[in-house]
Structure 1
Amino acid sequence: MSIHVEQAIIHEISQDGEGQLACRLRPQPLLNGQAVEVMLEELHQTYSSKAGKGFGYFGVPEDDGDANPAFEEALTNYRSNEMGFVEFSSAAVKLLQQELAKYDFSQGGFLLLSCYTSITSDYLFVAMLNAKSSMTVLDDMELTQNNHLDLSNIQLAARIDLTEWQADETSRKYISFIRGRAGRKVADFFLDFMGCVEGVNLKAQNKSLMVAVEDFVASGELTKDERQQCRDKVYDYCTNQFDSGEDVQMKDLADELADDGMDSFYDFATGGEYELEEEFPADKSTLRQLKKFSGTGGGVTLSFDSGHLGERVIYDPISDTIMIKGVPANLKDQLDRRLKGGN
C-alpha cells in the first residue's frame, strides 16, 4: 500500500418521490479496515493518474466576491480537534446537499470523505460516487443483480493537501480537482460547496514553460542534437514529477539542465516575461509538444517525433506543405493497396 488511511466515511444524498434531496448519515467511520484500504488505494491511484486536473484554494471568487467559508471552517475545527471526523463529515454532506438543491440535474449519490497519508503529506479526499449495476453468478450458477460503487469512473472529486494548506498561507494550489468533460463548469457546484477557488492555471504554466524552453534553446549556440537534448531533459523531468505526484520545481529543473552545461536556464525562464511560478504541477499533455508535433483538421491527422523535423519531415511554411521521407510501413501498405484498386 502506498497510502495509510486514518479515517473514512460514506454518507448518501438521495432524492425522494417529490424530488427533494435528503441525507442519510452514517453514525461512525467505516470499520472494515482492509476493504477501506483497498478502496482508497484504488481511488488514490485513479485520481493521481487523471490528467488535466485543476488546482485551487479556499478563497473568494473574483467574479462575484462571495464565498461560503463553512467547509473550510469545519475542516479547521476538525484539524484542531474541536470537531470529530464524523461530525465534520456530516457537516460536509449537508453543505453539499444545500448546494445540490440549487440545481435540477442531480439525483444524489454517495459522498466519500477520507483522511490519509501518502509519502510525507496528509490529504483529505472528497468524492461523489455513484452505484453501478452488475450481474453476479451465485454458487448454484444462478444469476443475480447487485449494485457496487463505480470506483474507476470518478468525475466529481477533489483532494486537499492538508500539509501544504496548513504550512503555506500563500499557496494557491493545495486543492486539486477533476475537471468535467466539458470544462470546469460541469463541476462548479462541487467546488462551490467546499468554497474552492481556482488558483494555478495548470495549462498556462506548462505552456509558458514550453515556450521558455523553446526560446532558451533558440537563443543559445546549441547544435540541433543539444536543443533536442534540452527538450527531452525537460520533458523527462516533468514526467517523473507528475508520475511521483510532485510539482515541477524550477530550481531543480534548472539544476538538471546545468548538469548538461546549460546553466543559465533558471535566470532566463524566471527573469523574463514567462510569469512562471517557482513550482507548479506538471501537465504531460501540454509538455508532450516538446517531444512530438501533432495536429488534426480537415480530415487529416498528423503526428511525428520532433526530432524528425528538418530530416524525415520537411515543412515549407510558404507553400503550406509537409513532405515526409520514409512513409511508415503500415501506411505505405494501405496506400499501395488503394492505388492498385484504381483510385
Structure 2
Amino acid sequence: MEIKESIIHGVIKARETNGDGSVGIKSRAGVLPVDERLESLGGEVLKLYGRLSNGYGTFGGDALIHQFPVLLESYMREDIDLKKFSDDICKLISVPMQEQWMATTTWPLFVRYENMGRDWLLIAMLKLKEGVGIDEGTMDLNDSLSFDVSNLYEAARVDLQKWQDDEQPYLSFIKRRATDADVTKYFRVAISCTEYTDARHNTEVAVQALNEYFETEGWDAGRRQVATDKLYSYCVEKKGLDQPVNMTALSAIINDQDPESFIDFVRENEFEVSEVFSPNPATYKKLMRVSRRFGSVSVSFNVSDLRNETVFYDPELQGLVIMNPPADLLAEMDRALGAQNAADD
C-alpha cells in the first residue's frame, strides 16, 4: 500500500443530544505528513476494513440530493484539493448525524492510496479511547488518548477506477449488526450510498467462492456434491421465506466441522460478496442443472440425472449416453435416419 495523501478532521457530538447545534466540526488546517505514524495507522485500519467490510452499494444519481459523488468528481478532476473535499464531506456527515440521538464524536480519516495497481479512497470514522500513559521526561503517569481502531463501525472505500468506469461494485462499506443500523446509517446517507443487493452478482460470486474453496481444501467429488446441495437448499429455503442469504450462516452449513472456514476463506481472498444478499433463483438453479448449446445441438438435464446415470457421461469417449429415452423420441430418430439413408441412396 502506498499512501498518496491523507487528512483527518473531527465531527464533535455529545451522546444523547440531537437537533440543530448538536454537531460541530473541528477542521485540520492541511494534509497529514505521510510518515511512519500515518502508514502504521492506515495499515491497521485497512487490515481491519478488509476483515469487516460486508456491504456493497452505489452512489445515488440525483446531483441535487446526492452531493458526495459530485464532490468526489471535483476532487478527481483536481478542481478541489483533499482539504476542501474532506471539509465538505464532514459538513455532509454532520447533517444526518445531528438526528442520531446516540451518535458520538468521530474523527473521519480520509486516505487516498494505491494498492495492487489500483487507486482507492478510504473514509474511516475513528473513535478515541482514554488510557493511561507515561511522560518519558518526568516518568509520571498521565492520561492519554489513542484511536480505538478495533471498534470500527463506520467506514467506506471507493475503487476510483471502477467508479469512473461505472463498473460495479465500486463502493464497499462496513455495516455492523442490525442493532447498530440506526446509529451508523447517517454515515452511509452522508456519502450518498444507495445500498443495494445485486442478487445475481452476489449469488454468482458465492458459487465461485465455494468452487475455489473446494479446490483449496482438496475435497473429493462426493463431499463437493453434498456441499453444493446444501448451498442450493439454503438458497431455496431463504428465497421461499423471502429472507436474505447470510454468508456466516452459510459457512456453518457448508462445513459444520469448521463453521468459520468458508467465510474466512471468502474474506481472506476478498471475494466481492455482501455478508447478506437476496439469492438469485436463475443463478442457484444452475447448480442443479446442466444446460449447453453447441452448434445445432442443445442439451439440458438435471444434475440428479447424471448422478443416477439416466444421463451417462463417458470421460474416455468424451460422450453422453441418454438412457431409456421415450419411445416417440426413438421413433423420430429412426425416421430421421431413414430419411437420410433414403436420400443417400
Q: Cα deviations across residues 267-323 of structure 1 (Å, max 9, x unaligned)?
A: x9577499xxxxxxxxxxxxxxxxxxxxxxxxxxxxxxxxxxxxxxxxxxxxxxxxx
Taking the TM superposition and a 5 Å limit, the aligned residue runs for 1:227-246 are 227-229=222-224, 242-246=267-271
2:151 is the counterpart of 1:150 = no
AA of the residue aligned to 1:200: T
AA of the residue aligned to 2:178: A
How far, CA to CA, are the matches of 1:5 and 1:197 in structure 2? 27
Partner of 1:49: 51
How far, CA to CA, are the matches of 1:119 and 1:93 in structure 2? 29
Percent identity of equivalent pairs: 22
Partner of 1:163: 161
2:81 is the counterpart of 1:79 = no
How far, CA to CA, are the matches of 1:91 and 1:118 in structure 2? 26
How far, CA to CA, are the matches of 2:164 and 2:226 in structure 1? 35
State the 1:27 CA deviation: 1.7
Runs (5+) with no aligned partner, structure 2:
212-218, 232-253, 255-260, 274-281, 289-345
How far, CA to CA, are the matches of 1:128 and 1:59 in structure 2? 21
Q: Could you tell me which of 72, 96, 99 is aligned with 2:96?
A: 99
SS at match of 1:98: helix
Taking the TM superposition and a 5 Å limit, the aligned residue runs for 1:202-241 are 205-206=202-203, 209=206, 225-229=220-224
Q: Could you tell me which of 120, 130, 134 is aligned with 1:133?
A: 130
AA of the residue aligned to 1:156: E
Partner of 1:58: 59
State the 1:31 CA deviation: 1.5
AA of the residue aligned to 1:27: A
Q: Cα deviations across residues 231-263 of structure 1 (Å, max 9, x unaligned)?
A: 789989986563243447xxxxxxxxxxxxxxx
How far, CA to CA, are the matches of 1:12 and 1:144 in structure 2? 23
Q: Cα deviations across residues 170-202 of structure 1 (Å, max 9, x unaligned)?
A: 52x211111122264442111000110112358
SS at match of 1:148: strand
What is the number of residues matched between the two proteins? Answer: 238
Q: Could you tell me which of 186, 190, 202 is aligned with 2:187?
A: 190
How far, CA to CA, are the matches of 2:269 and 2:209 in structure 1? 24
Does the CA-based 8 Å contact 1:67-1:195 persist in structure 2? no
How far, CA to CA, are the matches of 2:201 and 2:129 in structure 1? 36
State the 1:74 CA deviation: 0.3
Aligned alpha-carbon RMSD (Å): 3.9
Query: 1:58–1:208: structure 2 CA closer, same or farther, 3 Å change rule?
Result: closer
TM-score where L is the length of structure 2: 0.59
Query: 1:43–1:73: structure 2 CA closer, same or farther, 3 Å change rule?
Result: same
Q: Could you tell me which of 13, 27, 49 is aligned with 2:11?
A: 13
How far, CA to CA, are the matches of 2:134 and 2:26 in structure 1? 30
Does the CA-based 8 Å contact 1:68-1:192 persist in structure 2? no
AA of the residue aligned to 2:56: F
Query: 1:155–1:126: structure 2 CA closer, same or farther, 3 Å change rule?
Result: same
Partner of 2:67: 70
Query: 1:165–1:136: structure 2 CA closer, same or farther, 3 Å change rule?
Result: same
Does the CA-based 8 Å contact 2:122-2:156 persist in structure 1? yes
How far, CA to CA, are the matches of 1:205 and 1:118 in structure 2? 24
Query: 1:28–1:229: structure 2 CA closer, same or farther, 3 Å change rule?
Result: same
State the 1:66 CA deviation: 10
Bigger Cα Rg: 2
How far, CA to CA, are the matches of 2:201 and 2:183 in structure 1? 20
Does the CA-based 8 Å contact 2:112-2:120 persist in structure 1? yes
Runs (5+) with no aligned partner, structure 1:
215-223, 249-267, 275-343
Partner of 1:37: 39
